[in-house]
Structure 1
Amino acid sequence: GWTEQSIGSCPMHIQSLRDQRIQAHRYQYGLKHHITSTIHASMGDTLFRVALQITSSDCNLWDKGQVVVATSRTRRASDTIFVGDKEETIEALINVMCLKNQYTDYLEAIMKAMTSNSVDTQTFYQPEFFPYCTQYLPLPQGSPGYVYMLRSVKMPSSYYVGETKNLRKRLSQHNSGFGSIITSSPLSRPWAVWAYVCGFNGHEDKELRRYVECKWKEKIHYLTEQKGCNCPFKLGLSVQNIIHTINKSKMHFTNLKLILLFSKAL
């Protein structure tokens, strides 16, 4: 038969909060009942048997990670039991496994970069793959050379196009007032990278970087002065045709790529 056992609570500790003006205490018991539980509450537990009901209506899931947790609580798959209609359960599992969240494309882009056979170790993330605000997009750390476009934070209608070997270092110089005469004014600082072109081969492509810089400046001048276009998104994208022409000519052993630190959807 059943034997009655008495289990007490852990020793109570009084803790002072907010400069000793508030005191709190907590009771903690040594038993956790697994009669019913949520998926998140069961995370990390190894259970003897689990019965689940997953549907597309009343008992639906909203993240594919929940499926991993729900189906890995027992040592054997046969000890995980799905309650309800078989076809409905299968359909519900397929639906939730096909869901995407803000991290899905980002993780896929990282995995693609990690499994690439390319010798280029630089990794660039476009805003459509980045799950956070575009201002937190990491700038490249290497020094193969870049052509970049800056936009003033205080004066959004002010732009600057330049070329450099190390983009992070050059941005720091601009924001400290030692980058260029155009960007040195305290009224326009700080500056933020709006877009940049990568894919150069270091010192060998210095002339090519200067060429792209010059053509990008000419394109921006043409759009702003002759076409009256001051759209920052169009100005940032205006270098695309220049890149396409260079890549198509195959005169340089490069594969230039435009990295946007803003969303095209904007």
Structure 2
Amino acid sequence: MNSILFKPRELTELKDLVYKTCGINLHDGKLELLKSKVAKRMRLTQMDVQQYLSHLRSNEREVIEFIDTITTNHSFFYRENKSIEYIVRQFDHHPKKETKHFKIWCAACSTGDEPYSAAVQLKALGLSFSILATDISHSVLQVAQRGIYKNDKVKNVPLPVLHRFFQKGTEKYKGHLKIKNEIRQHITFKKFNLISDRIPGSDFDAVLCRNVMIYFTHQTSEAVVNKLYHALSTNGFFAIGNAESLMNMKHRFKAVAGIPSLYVK
């Protein structure tokens, strides 16, 4: 079924659906990926092309499952950690850190590696904090909520942090580690669409939106960046992925000197 033939209008309909739903721009180089993912859903639903397209038009749940299938989720602990490290250090130097509760929003949290990475660094310094971690994919949120990861996912985590905040798996979980509850209790995981949902507040001290805009068009990225600007409190930090850029966008963020991909409101 991977070799199914799509009519041009059918591919256009699928690409438009993906773009409208989550902002991901499936250019021509991604067509084979799109075809293989559609084939997977067709196998699972036991439908042909026409039946599946009709099903997508009328079934919101299937749209969610389909988007879930095509979104790429490659993540690991302490990935591109320099910007998070800088934010944590600034929080630790805050003049009111003893009484302040820091709020972070991980706006594309994938399988949870990023919010947990930030949380263990904040916890190690004894700071008061909460993290809202959101993603459009319900399946990656389920992984994040479980908080269980293969050992290779945490190979960049310093050993003292690993020993303090992770539990070693045994028996069927041998080769895995679980985030301890003292870290998990600081994080709330929720489904969120960066394109269509309203921001969950305007008083975050930092917003992390990393390695997701690489899938967006320039226009969509600019809209998301300016949307997230309003989620931050004054002097709040905004971090994007190292492969991303705000160049040629209209925005009000100021770059943080010496820290790539980090901005301040």
TM-score class, shorter: under 0.3
State the TM-score, normalized to the length of structure 2. 0.21
Q: Which has the higher contact order (CA 8 A, sep 6+)?
A: 2
**Greater fraction helix:** 2
State the TM-score, normalized to the length of structure 1. 0.21
